[in-house]
Amino acid sequence: MSTTAEPARAVPGTGSAVWLHGVVAAVTATPAGTTGIAGTPVRSVAGAGLVAVVSDVPLAEYGEEALRRNLEDLAWLERAARAHHAVVAALCGAGPVVPARLATVHRDDDRVARVLAERHDELAGTLARLTGREEWGVKGYVVPGATPRTEEPAAGGGAGAAYLRRRKAQLTAREEGQRIAADAAAAVHAALAGYAVTARRHAPQDRRLSGAPTAMVLNGAYLIDRERLDGFAALVRELADRHPEIRLEATGPWPPYSFVAEPSAEPAWA
């Protein structure tokens, strides 16, 4: 519980700071021996009846300027995201957790404790709302073969014109296929959202990042009561059968990353 962070107000880039992993209820024990973001031990900072789970980071690597640079480094970003996630996922095993967004860094424990006091009602309310629930992701991808084929147009006008007609028909078929897939995605999301406590759609992932062979049309997140997980699984399978025009893929369980912000605290674009 003691703070080792040194104030670094005068000399940016030296000293250490405090990386916030997440907030848990005061009764939850911090997992012993868990390693934090920079390989330092995970600590807890108590305040206002809540516990912030943090780890110390060197400002040379996690100060604002350094973070900006490091976040553009894919290897650094992946290591940081996985280390942060490992702590949050470990906390989830013990009880509800409000995960912090990546790169939430404070000067010292006092500043973290002040946040716990200032945001107490919102954080406590979120913890209560998340108790006994977990996040699942369902992604949907276009299935090319499931889209209707356009009839081959009648010949005439030479090879060039025929090529252009074929090309146009292919494009039309692709547009139609994407429309059908988008409709299926909306139907699947509506059904899953109806079962879930809360739901939201993330932006579809770019294929260059996902590595998927076809376009993503659904990137949904669903907050599910643990007691009702079996029904959720059954519903996902049923929807996959009912909508062969998209391929569904579930991920989870996730810490409730997608459901910690109250609507008022949600970024304007979400």
Assess 168 for contact with another protein (CB under 8 A): no
238, 243, 244, 246 alpha-carbon torsion, rounded to 10°: -110
Examine residue 179 and tell whether it contacts another protein (CB under 8 A): no
- Which is nearer to another protein, 30 or 188 (by Cβ)? 188
Nearer to another protein among residue 162 and residue 178 (C-beta): 178
User: By CB under 8 A, is residue 38 in contact with another protein?
Assistant: no
User: DSSP label at 11?
Assistant: S
Report the distance separating Cα 67 and Cα 13, nearest Å: 11
Give Cα separations from 170 to 163, 175, 184 (angstroms). Answer: 10, 9, 21
Interaction between residue 91 and another protein (CB under 8 A): no
> Tokens at residue 69, please?
């640079």
Nearer to another protein, 22 or 36 (CB): 22
Which of 133, 137, 147, 196 is close enough to bind another protein by CB under 8 A? 137
121 binds another protein (CB under 8 A): no
Kindly state the number of chain residues that form the binding site for another protein, as judged by CB under 8 A: 79
Among 6, 64, 152, 175, binds another protein (CB under 8 A): 64
From first CA to last CA, the distance across the chain in angstroms is 36
Q: Does 113 bind another protein (CB under 8 A)?
A: no
Task: Tell me the C-alpha distance between 191 and 58, whole Å.
Answer: 46
Give, as ranges, the residues between 239 and 268 that touch another protein (CB under 8 A).
240, 247-255, 257-261, 265, 267
Q: Which of 137, 142, 136 is nearest to 243 (CA)?
A: 142
Which residues inside 197-226 make contact with another protein, applying CB under 8 A?
200-211, 215, 219, 221
The yes or no reply on residue 6 touching another protein (CB under 8 A) is no
Question: Residue 173: CB partners within 8 Å, gap ≥ 6?
Answer: 147, 148, 149, 150
Beta carbon nearer to another protein, 162 or 214: 214
d(CA 199, CA 217): 16
